[in-house]
Structure 1
């Protein structure tokens, strides 16, 4: 089809296609833990902040997800026995999130998975090329007048 050349020559569409393929592969890999990318990153975030009371609104701010999406993710993590909610005695409406032992074990596997994924990119591209690529993506996606 005539569109094929356009799709292959348009850098934005090529990047979008690559991102979709990466997302698909990661979600497939993470399904071994019954998780998707967002849920995995939420769990790793809680793991990295263990010992500190984390609330869903913090996760929402960090990941740019709606409260509803975060709530669904938390409910899923809780249903798998990876985290538990703890009532905040100071704030009756608030609950904080805590890791379970199972959650810690899965988190360690997820951290290793994400590190391996990063290393694969770094073996393919030098750190300078990765840095320039990310800077280019940032420049292209930042609205004009906001840089």
Structure 2
């Protein structure tokens, strides 16, 4: 692989062995879990949400809110400073798969598909990170 990657990316077959079918479908094939099906939708415990593929910390419980959309929603990524996301665990990508341009959210370290970010969220930034539960691993504790 190239030298810019922090760790070698696994092949599809390696990911398939490591993940459940649902995790593989969402994170590696850009799928979406059915709304209101996710294990973290109503989780209100304090802690940190990590990438299910590579364990990078992605979202804090402090920024989680109920959007009513059926997926866990966050107002910003962990490590965000104002509008600067350079210290977060996520990257934004333009996704035109449905014909309209949406903003895909992926893990910076392993490029797992996490969900999308929409401009209809709360607070000054007005963002709604709409993230699949199966792409996340919750670790309870101090966020």
Structure with greater proportional strand content:
2
TM-score, with structure 2 as normaliser: 0.27
TM-score, with structure 1 as normaliser: 0.26
Rg larger in structure: 1
Structure with greater proportional helix content:
1
